Structure 1
Amino acid sequence: MLTVARAEALFTSPLATGSHPSHATAEQAIRHAVRTHGGVRGCAADVAGEYGDHPECAAPRMRWARHVVDELYDAGRPRWVLAG
């Protein structure tokens, strides 16, 4: 759930699709997006709206956001892999 919330917040942030933000930059953008959109539910609602209004742009942006979150937060990797 946290991975999805981070990706949705990053999706709604002003960072450029295709950019490679540092962990600190992404974290700041995610926090700002959550505050600006009234929480994670607001981010999710805006993501849904973009898929309805501009699906041709929304899909690549979400792929980018998921990739950034996965890379920066090691999403989906077992803890023993990170420790070893």
Structure 2
Amino acid sequence: MTNTTELAQVLFATALQPSDELSSYQIRAAVDERLCACGGDASWCAAYVAQEAGDHPETYVRRMRWALDAVAGAYALAAA
């Protein structure tokens, strides 16, 4: 089972942007697609997130906050 933080790291590693108006379905589909592209290994996304945090600390926090909020909302609706 993947937790919210891991899902947010996967979403962070997608091309989706916080400025996009995305439905919960689109967020879940993008996460699923990225996980499949990584062979189901969420640790690849965690490594990418760490690299981005080091390379772009000025935008990392804002994007990670968006990713955390987006997956929390998208997966809460899916569970309901």
Same fold (TM over 0.5): yes
Q: 1:12 corresponds to which letter in structure 2?
A: A
Unaligned residue ranges in structure 1 (runs of 5+): 75-81
Shift in Å, 1:19: 2.8
Larger Rg: 1
CA shift digits 1:18-58 (9 cap, x unpaired): 33421221111101222334520000000000001101111
TM-score, normalised to structure 2, is 0.81
Unaligned residue ranges in structure 2 (runs of 5+): none
Distance (whole Å) between structure 2 residues aligned to residue 54 and residue 23 of structure 1 = 27
Identity of aligned residues (%): 35
1:23-42 map, 5 Å: 23-38=24-39, 39-42=41-44
Equivalent residues, number? 77
Distance (whole Å) between structure 1 residues aligned to residue 18 and residue 43 of structure 2 = 21
What RMSD over aligned residues (CA atoms) do the two structures have, in Å?
2.1
TM-score, normalised to structure 1, is 0.77
